[in-house]
Amino acid sequence: MGEPDAGRVDASMPDVQVVLDATEFFPDSGDVGPAVDANYPSDVATDTPPEMCPGMCRPDEGRCRDLGACVLWSDTASCVPLGGSLILGSPCEETDQCMAGLACFAGASGGVCGRVCCRADPTSCEDEDVCTGSGMLVDGTMTDFGVCGPSRSCSLLNPASCGEGEGCYLIEEGETDCRPAGSIGVGEACEGPSDCLPGLGCVGAFNKQCARNCRIGAPDACPPAEGECRAFADSPEGAGLCSGSASPRP
């Protein structure tokens, strides 16, 4: 019997995990990071704190670690070999038509390819754009993401001045903006202006909590348990906040 064929694979051998050490191939490359596991799942993207951008990858950046593009085609981000082909601002009808980094968001007159943003990451949008919108895709799927766009002034006293899934919030001195609706109720702790439900604002120097927007001088502007309607230093003209907050809801 001759010597075994070195190029033949013995199918009876058990599966083993193969680990490649890059320093064996590039001895002079210095610190090249950890060894690469050949069985590492190809659908895992860059390391991102989950609180900054939900999901397995960042659709605002549009790329995955080992497998093509990070896309927002459903309620969560996923990795696919290739994104769509439509560019920013293009009309779209299906969630998979826009380029990586974009998503087919529902607009007033149909789908539009918009730049995806992570709501908790202030660097997710470029220039002076802000992360806004309801996060709804063209097929009606709701997501936890937003779309980058210019700031839009609105009326604190008119909920209809912003779109579905949004609220009007006081961002800084007298300036308002439509932002994705928050979920925190009257009297509950908050950190930023858009943490609160639409129609509320985040007020307080230290222990901030959500308080109801109100019209100065209007009868019954505030429910009895929420105090009086008073203007604050940054309040737009005619608008204020109910000065005494109700106890947090159970």
Q: How confident is the model at residue 163 (pLDDT cuts 50, 70, 90)?
A: confident
Q: Domain coordinates of the chain in residue numbers? A: 44-150, 152-250
Q: What are 167's strand-pairing partners? A: 179
Rg (CA), the chain: 25
Tens of pLDDT, residue by residue over 198-211, are 999 988 877 889 99
What per-residue string of b and e applies to 92-129 under the rule 16 or more CB within 10 Å gives b? Answer: beebbbbbbbbbbbbbeeebbbbbbbbbebeebbeeee
Tens of pLDDT, residue by residue over 84-115, are 999 999 999 999 999 999 999 988 788 999 99
pLDDT at 212: 93
Residue 31 pLDDT greater than 70, yes or no: no
Which of 57, 194, 35, 39 has its CA nearest to residue 130? 194
pLDDT at 33: 31
Tokens of 66: 């080992």
From residue 207, alpha-carbon distances to 95, 155, 188, 227 in Å are: 42, 26, 10, 17
* Residue reference for tokens 């990586």: 100
Mean pLDDT for all residues in the chain: 76
What is the CB-side half-sphere exposure of residue 108 using CA atoms within 13 A?
2
Tokens of 32: 């090249």
Torsion of CA 108, 109, 114, 119, to 10 degrees: 20
Handedness of CA 28, 34, 38, 43 (dihedral sign): negative
d(CA 47, CA 129): 25
* pTM score of the predicted model: 0.56
d(CA 178, CA 113): 20
Which of 205, 239, 238, 209 has its CA nearest to residue 226? 209
